[in-house]
Structure 1
Amino acid sequence: MAIWLKKSFFVLISILTFGLVSPSQAFLNEEGHALAKSNGKPSSVESAEEEIHQEETVLSREEFLEQMKEQAEKNSYVKFGTKIKPAIEDEFRSVILPKMEHAIEQTALQYEEDLSSLVISEVPQYAKTEKIFHIYDKRSGKDVIRFHVRKDHPPKDGYYFNFHYHTIHDDFQTHHDLGSIYWDKNTPPQWMSVS
């Protein structure tokens, strides 16, 4: 595809989405390689992009896990919003997050050679879904593990947040429990609610 056509397409998408969607790293790398071939020498911007891409693929297992754990915690707090987070943050951090991290570690063991292809999805903007985030293989686009939270309300009891995950190994059918956090007798606010 011609470079001018790619650039035109990129500009059109940028205008239509008003910056809500960023271009994929693959698109940027492909464009950089095309320019490098046509000029004979890569520019400093292209060289920097290539170095960033190379650094991403050279992550050690420990660095990869640390990044995944940080992103998992961040995405969880985005899901909770500023109304729910302060009430459950301490218990989430001490009880649920370590179990979530363990599940991520176990998943990473199965992808030892290909950790660079695993990425965490964004937190969905629709507030009623259970999804916190999914870890998926960016080559195939298929989910590997899905982390969810739902609001439970047992009869004659208060509300609980039930954290769990599903894996690709049983086609996401089994409910792997991470634990529950009690909210209150009152109905909790919507996910991502701000104070």
Structure 2
Amino acid sequence: MFSWIKRGLLVSTALLSIGLVTTGTDYREVYAEEPLRLSKSVYEKPNIYKVDESEYALFHAVLPSSTDKYIHRDVSSAEVYTNYLLQFAYDMSMLKFGETISKQIEKPFQDEILPKLSEVVAETTNQLTENEWKQVKLSSKPTNGSGEKIFHLYNEESGEDIFRFHVRRDQPPKKGHWFNFHYHTFLDGHEGHHNLGDVYWGKNMPPKWMA
């Protein structure tokens, strides 16, 4: 697992002369002083991560409780957003895998799947308008059992999915058990099954998700 480091925050426009004042929108841009420690093959210098509210006394005074679910981006912040989403993808994946599966496939997932995910997320989200970005929201949790969903990116106003990141359990004849990572995108009406890669589990059946 990652070696987590202390998060420091810089919250722009949050502090005014007489106290804490919010801007009236449904999002806040949260910047970090230290980079995420994702695999170097993903990004060398990411510069944003999720806030650990337990380590920041003014978290709820400065930021709304739903901050981690809302994403805002303009053209200049594309890399910042992608880095945030990769961390979110990692967190949701480890949650879905559960402890046993995570211990075995964390490294190949981080080295082989996340770099490809960053590319396809950029391809998809680059098609969104600034107004559409204001409605972007992330799903709150993956499915357990045998479900495929890791996370979905969707438009809160319309309820329509923008991007779906999934994992499927495969068992080719005489080749053991594999995890197939793939995605679906609104660019083709979610009809395509776009492969990101396969990670080998072993000869024995893996535990259920989130077990």
Structure 1-normalised TM-score?
0.68
Contact 1:127-1:192 at 8 Å conserved across structures: yes
Contact 2:177-2:200 at 8 Å conserved across structures: yes
Partner of 2:126: helix, strand, or coil?
helix
**Structure 1 CA distance for aligned equivalents of residues 116 and 157 of structure 2:** 27
Change (3 A) 1:48 1:154: same
Corresponding residue for residue 87 of structure 2: 70
Contact 1:71-1:120 at 8 Å conserved across structures: no
**Structure 2 CA distance for aligned equivalents of residues 149 and 86 of structure 1:** 17
Shift of residue 141, structure 1, vs aligned partner: 1.4
Report the residue type matching 1:81 in the other structure.
G
Structure 2-normalised TM-score?
0.64
1:85 maps to 2:102: yes
**Structure 1 CA distance for aligned equivalents of residues 205 and 102 of structure 2:** 15
Contact 2:124-2:187 at 8 Å conserved across structures: no
Cα deviations by residue, 1:50-90 (Å, 9 ceiling, x for unpaired): 37745464662222222212111111111111110110010
RMSD: 2.4
Contact 2:96-2:144 at 8 Å conserved across structures: no
Within 5 Å, give how 1:184-195 maps onto structure 2. 184-193=202-211
Equivalent position to 2:24, from 28, 50, 53: 50
Within 5 Å, give how 1:1-195 maps onto structure 2. 47-48=21-22, 50=24, 53=27, 55=29, 57=72, 60-113=77-130, 114-193=132-211
**Structure 2 CA distance for aligned equivalents of residues 125 and 139 of structure 1:** 23
More helix per residue: 1
Partner of 1:102: helix, strand, or coil?
helix
| Runs of 5+ unmatched residues, structure 1 | 1-43
Change (3 A) 1:53 1:96: closer
Contact 1:64-1:115 at 8 Å conserved across structures: no
**Structure 1 CA distance for aligned equivalents of residues 23 and 209 of structure 2:** 36
Shift of residue 126, structure 1, vs aligned partner: 3.4
| Runs of 5+ unmatched residues, structure 2 | 1-18, 30-70
Corresponding residue for residue 50 of structure 2: none
Structure 1 vs Structure 2: percent identity of aligned residues?
Answer: 40
Partner of 1:173: helix, strand, or coil?
coil
Cα deviations by residue, 1:30-58 (Å, 9 ceiling, x for unpaired): xxxxxxxxxxxxxx67x347377454646
Further displaced range: 167-176 or 82-91 = 167-176
Contact 1:150-1:161 at 8 Å conserved across structures: yes
Shift of residue 102, structure 1, vs aligned partner: 1.0
Change (3 A) 1:165 1:57: closer
